[in-house]
Amino acid sequence: MTTPAAIGKTRATTGSADPEPAGRRRRARAGLALALAGLLLASCGGAADTRLALWHIVDAGCNGAPPAALAAQRAAQCLAGQGAALLKDRCGSGHYLLIPTARRSGIESAELLAPQEPDYLALAWAWRTLSATAPEAAATDSRSQDDIALAVNSRYGRSQDQFHVHIDRLRPEVRSALDALALPAQARASVTLLGHRYRLAVLDTLDHTALALAFAQWGAADAAARARIGVVVAAAPGKRYFVLSDRADLWHLDRGHAEELLVERNCGAAS
């Protein structure tokens, strides 16, 4: 794909040559970005009840909020004293969600960085065995705990306005790409996966560090900037953790949909 910088270079060296092909490419790219922006705005403006479905399920099932029928329809496993719940996704044979039982709109929520807040990524990591041993998943693919990863989508790559962590198997090609990386990773290292650039770091612990690190990698200092970040946590050698972070960028047709690095689900589940 021709980059804006490459387009500028081409025009500078062609002198009086007809720049129309480059102009058409630039206009086509801008049109695609505008079309995507329209889709994102439509998604963000969806019905409030639809975008709060996960919150209503957890609030009813773990906090006793009405209507209790929601808890019966989609049973959430409440993690007593841990401030979170687990929910089997309707789609994906081994796809689970870890969801706060307190109201948190998404990755942009300032509360996620508070020291007293539950460490949702660490909790999700501790429960990834659910995905690794899901009977439905075992019938279709082999998976070990090191194959299981976590993903949090940006505001522009999600359909739910309650923070949640996706738990499922990495795409095999993504796992292979990570296994091939030379470690230790250099500062500001990055890797291109599925056509999107992810910044990369390796941590020894997830102790309230992964989200803060991802935000720092992109200079995301306020809620608007944090809302653009998507994060993936995967197993690294030596019982360490890969932290991959992406930033939504309409010009590059990137929604910050970090869940793309996990195996694809086959129906329109909440994300």
> DSSP characters for the chain?
---HHHHHHHHHHSTTS--HHHHHHHHHHHHHHHHHHHHHHHHHTS-HHHHTHHHHHHHHHHS-PSPTHHHHHS--EEETTTTEEEEE-SSSTT-EEEEESS---STT-GGGGSTTS--HHHHHHHTTHHHHT-HHHHTT----GGGEEEEE--GGG-S-SS--EEEEEBPHHHHHHHHT--SSPPTT-EEEETTEEEEEEEES--TT-HHHHHHHHTT--SHHHHTTEEEEEEEETTTEEEEEEEE-BGGGTB---GGGGBPPPSS----
Query: 146 in a domain, yes or no?
Result: yes
Query: 226 in a domain, yes or no?
Result: yes
pLDDT of residue 30: 52
Which of 78-92, 136-150, 243-257 has the weakest average pLDDT?
A: 136-150
pLDDT in tens, 213-251: 999 999 999 999 999 999 999 999 999 999 999 999 988
- Is pLDDT of 39 > 80? no
240 Cβ neighbours under 8 A, 6+ residues apart:
202, 203, 204
The count of other CB atoms within 10 Å of the CB of residue 64 is 9
Q: How far apart are CA 226 and CA 46, in angstroms?
A: 21
Q: How far apart are CA 114 and CA 211, in angstroms?
A: 11
- Is pLDDT of 31 > 60? no
What type of residue is 56?
H
The two structure tokens encoding residue 109: 């929520």
Query: 248 in a domain, yes or no?
Result: yes
Query: 65 in a domain, yes or no?
Result: no
Of 126, 127, 147, nearest to 137 (Cα)?
147
- Is pLDDT of 121 > 60? yes
Mean pLDDT, residues 21-30: 56
Mean pLDDT, residues 185-203: 90
Per-residue pLDDT band at 179 (split at 50, 70, 90): very high
The count of other CB atoms within 10 Å of the CB of residue 126 is 13
Query: 108 in a domain, yes or no?
Result: yes
Query: 76 in a domain, yes or no?
Result: no
Number of structural domains found in the chain: 1
Q: What is the CATH number of the domain that holds 151?
A: 3.30.428.30
Determine the structural domain holding residue 203 and report its residue range.
82-261
Query: 68 in a domain, yes or no?
Result: no
Query: 219 in a domain, yes or no?
Result: yes
pLDDT of residue 171: 95
